[in-house]
Amino acid sequence: MNLNKISRKVSFLLRHKEGFFDEHGWSDVADVVKEIQTIYPDFDEGTLREIVFTDEKGRYSYNQDETRIRANQGHSIPVDVELKKLSPPEILYHGTATRFMNRIEREGLNGQSRIYVHLSSDEETARKVGKRHGKPAVLRIHAGRMEQDGYEFFLSENHVWQTKIVPASYIERMNEEIL
Ligand code: HQG
């Protein structure tokens, strides 16, 4: 069994599958196991546990008795995963692909298929996220100014900053030479 592949399926179930989780994002561990077993019959709760505790981005959380599981962020279906509303650092970063830049410069950032725009506190993470989409562009987001102007910021359990939209006036593209 390829744990990375399975993890992608788990994150699909827990972030994007209509009706699979409750209003706080929770699913029964037993349901996740059952669903994954339709593709990998040997999959079990122990393997899920291994995926959860070795995930390099801390994508998933269990409840206290480990009978329920949820994704910490990244949902496309409206859900309240109890993100912390916090004051952001003055600057946050967003990674995207150069081919999206014309549109982003015109209309700003929005979550596209996700509920929130994902931002990071370091530019390296942003560059990695950008590379997933093609030739990366790293954007400096003036989060401090946004907050002063009334925009809200949230931090997920696994330290991903999120906000609903970023208007173009708060976005500054980083010079490619220094990447
Ligand atoms: C772009 C991964 C054109 C946006 C990562 C991005 C992240 C626009 C793409 C998490 C736009 C959406 C999220 C506009 C935004 N016009 N393009 N107006 N506004 N975009 O995958 O941020 O591995 O939904 O720049 O680590 O790339 O899944 O978002 O390029 O934290 O756990 O539209 O996914 O985490 O792409 O990635 P995505 P993202 P996981």
What is the rounded CA–CA span in Å between residue 119 and residue 159? 10
pTM, 2 dp: 0.93
Mean pLDDT score of the chain, rounded to an integer? 96
Q: Whose CA is nearest to atom 36 of ligand 1?
A: 112
pLDDT at 177: 59
Query: Comparing 179 with 66, which gets the higher pLDDT?
Result: 66
Residue 26 scores a pLDDT above 90:
yes
Which atom of ligand 1 lies nearest, measured to the CA of 132?
A: 27
Residue 68 CA to ligand 1 center (angstroms) comes to 27
Angle at CA of residue 173, ends 167 and 179, nearest 5°:
145
Residue 179 scores a pLDDT above 90:
no
pLDDT tens for each residue of 117-127: 999 999 999 99
Ligand 1 site, residue 110, Cβ cutoff 6 A = yes
pLDDT tens for each residue of 67-108: 999 999 999 999 999 999 999 999 999 999 999 999 999 999
Query: What are residue 155's phi and psi, to 5 degrees?
Result: -120, 130
